[in-house]
Amino acid sequence: MVKNNFMNKLNQKIIIFFCVSVWIGFSIGYIIIDQLQESKSKQVEKAYKTGGSNAVEIIINEAKKCKPVSLFSGEKKIKVVAVECLRENQFEQVKNQE
């Protein structure tokens, strides 16, 4: 009888220990997955901003050459020239390059 009581208490402790261990394992796994997703989100945001900055820098550099720069998005299209290039004598050259 004493042996059965001892075994029941031991089994209860093992079950409780197992449940707590599983709960801790799932909690740690959830935290790791959450941190990884947040890290990926930050990387995507950083890449998006870097890409935008690079595109603007390329457009600026091309426009400084006093040649029309074609920009398009879907069906929309426009040609851009740096204002510095639009002096009286260069205006005709830019217009002729189109």
Q: Tell me the pLDDT of the chain (98 aa) as tens digits.
A: 556 776 777 788 899 999 999 999 999 999 999 999 999 999 999 999 999 899 999 988 888 888 888 998 889 999 888 888 877 555 566 566 65
DSSP β-bridge partners for residue 71: 78
* pTM of the predicted model as reported, rounded to 2 decimal places: 0.53
What pLDDT does 93 receive? Answer: 60
3-state secondary structure at position 79? strand
What pLDDT does 5 receive? Answer: 73
Nearest CA among 74, 80, 89, 78 for reference residue 62: 80
Q: Do 70 and 98 form a contact (C-beta atoms < 8 A)?
A: no
Beta strands of the chain (E only): which ranges?
69-73, 76-80
- Distance separating alpha carbons of residues 7 and 88, to the nearest angstrom: 100
What pLDDT does 80 receive? Answer: 86
